[in-house]
Chains A and B, each alone.
Chain A
C-alpha cells in the first residue's frame, strides 16, 4: 500500500487577504502530518483545500495510490474529514445519518450499531441529532470515520468538545489510520503534536 498526498506551490487568498502562499509538502502511508499554527493562520482553509471543499488560488494537490494519481471525482471514495463546521442532518437519527452517508459510497451499514457504541453513543442510535450535544455530534463524526475507513483522513481541531474518553478515541482512530493510510491533523493543541510524524507550521 503506497499512498501519498502532496501539495505543490499551494497558495490561497481571499480577495486581497493572503492566507498562505507557495506551500509545498507531502505525506505518505503510515504517516500523520500535523498542521500547526496560531488562530487565523489558515489551518482549516488548508484542510478544506486538501479535501476539495475550497479551491486554491494557485498550485496543485495530488492524491496518489500506487503511483497513480487519483482524479478529483474518485477522491470521495478515499477520504473523510472531521471538522467543526461539518454537520449532520438534525432531523435524522444518528443511525440514519450514518446509513445515509455510507450508502453514498455503496458501503454496508451493518457495523453502525457497534460503532456507535464504541464512540460512546450506544443507546442513542435512534435519537435525532437535533438533540445531541456538541460532544456527541463530534463523536458521531468519528463514528463515521471508523465506518468509512478512509485512506486519507483529515482532522481539524480533533479534540474540540471532547472529554478524556473522547480524546482516547481519537488517538485510537489515528493508530488505526496509520495502518490503513495517512492522516492530516490541524491543531493548536501542543499535546497533540506528538501524535504526528511530520509537522507543518503555518502563519507567522
Chain B
C-alpha cells in the first residue's frame, strides 16, 4: 500500500511537470518563464500550510504536553522551511523575468522572506535550549505567536501596498493572470501534488521520529 502511494505520487508529479512544460505557457506575454507559476505558487502555499500545521501541533502540545506534538511541530517546520526556500528562490527567479530584478520588495516577496525568517528564528530558538519541556513549550509559544502575524503578512500588507504580483485570487474567476481552463487544471494538479508531497514527507518523518521517541521511552 505504501509502495503504491509512493508510485502514484511519483507519476502524478511527473505528469504535472511534463504538462507544465509541454502545454502552452500560462501567460503569453511572459512566455516560457511563466511556467514557474506551476511550481512557485504551490511551494508558497505549502510553506504556509506547513506553518499552520506547526502552529496547530504547538497548540496541541501546550494543551496536552505530549512530546509527540512538539516533535511533529518541529518536523512540519523543517519541511516548511525547505518549501519556503524553494518558494523564495523560484519567486526571485520569476521576478527577474517578469519584473526585471531578482528582488523588488513587492509585498508578497517581503512576506515570503519574513516567513523564512520566522522559520529560521524558530530553529534558532530550539537550538538555544536543551531538550525538555522548556524547549518544547517555548517553541510552541513562539510558533503560535509568529503564526498570529501571518494573516497580517498574507492579507493585509498586499491589500494596502501596491503589489507587482498578479491579482492573488488564483481561485477567483476574473484573475488578471487570465487563467485558461487548461492552465487552471494543471495548476490545481500541481497544487495537489505538492500538498501530497508535503504530506507524504511529513508522514515518513513522523513515523521515524515517533518510533525514535518510543524507543527512548522504553529505555
Q: Do A and B make up one complex? A: yes
The CA of A15 and the CA of B219, in the complex, are separated in Å by 12
Q: Pick from B130, B131, B133: contact of A55, CB below 8 A.
A: B133
Using CB atoms, name the residue of chain A closest to B137.
A55
The CA of A55 and the CA of B131, in the complex, are separated in Å by 14
Report whether A15 and B131 are in contact in the complex, using a CB–CB cutoff of 8 Å.
Answer: yes
Using CB atoms, name the residue of chain A closest to B131.
A15
Q: Looking at chain B, what size class is its interface with the partner chain? A: under 10
The CA of A15 and the CA of B130, in the complex, are separated in Å by 9
SS of B interface (majority): loop
Instruction: List, in ascending order, chain A residues with CB within 8 A of B133's CB.
Output: 55
Interface residues of A in 3-59 (CB under 8 A from B): 15, 55
Instruction: List, in ascending order, chain A residues with CB within 8 A of B132's CB.
Output: 15
Using CB atoms, name the residue of chain B closest to A57.
B133
Instruction: List, in ascending order, chain A residues with CB within 8 A of B130's CB.
Output: 15
Instruction: List, in ascending order, chain B residues with CB within 8 A of A55's CB.
Output: 133
The CA of A126 and the CA of B142, in the complex, are separated in Å by 41
The CA of A168 and the CA of B122, in the complex, are separated in Å by 53
Interface residues of A in 47-92 (CB under 8 A from B): 55
Report B219 CB to chain A, min CB distance, Å: 9
Using CB atoms, name the residue of chain A closest to B134.
A55
Report B45 CB to chain A, min CB distance, Å: 38
Interface residues of B in 92-147 (CB under 8 A from A): 130-133
What 0/1 pattern do residues 130 to 164 of A give for CB contact below 8 A with B?
00000000000000000000000000000000000
Report A182 CB to chain B, min CB distance, Å: 28
Using CB atoms, name the residue of chain B closest to A16.
B219
The CA of A182 and the CA of B155, in the complex, are separated in Å by 57
The CA of A125 and the CA of B110, in the complex, are separated in Å by 57
The CA of A75 and the CA of B170, in the complex, are separated in Å by 54
Report B193 CB to chain A, min CB distance, Å: 42
What 0/1 pattern do residues 182 to 215 of B give for CB contact below 8 A with A?
0000000000000000000000000000000000
Report A58 CB to chain B, min CB distance, Å: 11
Using CB atoms, name the residue of chain A closest to B132.
A15
Using CB atoms, name the residue of chain B closest to A55.
B133
Instruction: List, in ascending order, chain A residues with CB within 8 A of B131's CB.
Output: 15
The CA of A13 and the CA of B201, in the complex, are separated in Å by 33
Report A160 CB to chain B, min CB distance, Å: 28
Report A53 CB to chain B, min CB distance, Å: 13
What 0/1 pattern do residues 10 to 38 of B give for CB contact below 8 A with A?
00000000000000000000000000000
Instruction: List, in ascending order, chain B residues with CB within 8 A of A15's CB.
Output: 130-132
Using CB atoms, name the residue of chain A closest to B133.
A55
Report B140 CB to chain A, min CB distance, Å: 15
The CA of A55 and the CA of B132, in the complex, are separated in Å by 11
Report A25 CB to chain B, min CB distance, Å: 24
Using CB atoms, name the residue of chain A closest to B65.
A55
Using CB atoms, name the residue of chain B closest to A54.
B133
The CA of A55 and the CA of B65, in the complex, are separated in Å by 11
Report B44 CB to chain A, min CB distance, Å: 39
The CA of A170 and the CA of B130, in the complex, are separated in Å by 38
The CA of A158 and the CA of B130, in the complex, are separated in Å by 32
What 0/1 pattern do residues 131 to 174 of B give for CB contact below 8 A with A?
11100000000000000000000000000000000000000000
Report B217 CB to chain A, min CB distance, Å: 11
The CA of A55 and the CA of B137, in the complex, are separated in Å by 12
The CA of A55 and the CA of B130, in the complex, are separated in Å by 16
Report A153 CB to chain B, min CB distance, Å: 27
Report B138 CB to chain A, min CB distance, Å: 14
Report A180 CB to chain B, min CB distance, Å: 34
The CA of A15 and the CA of B129, in the complex, are separated in Å by 13
Report A193 CB to chain B, min CB distance, Å: 34
Report B28 CB to chain A, min CB distance, Å: 62
Counting from the closest, the 4 A-B pairs by CB-CB distance are A55-B133, A15-B131, A15-B132, A15-B130
- Can you name 4 A-B pairs with beta carbons within 8 Å? A15-B130, A15-B131, A15-B132, A55-B133
Q: What is B's interface to A at a CB cutoff of 8 Å?
A: 130-133
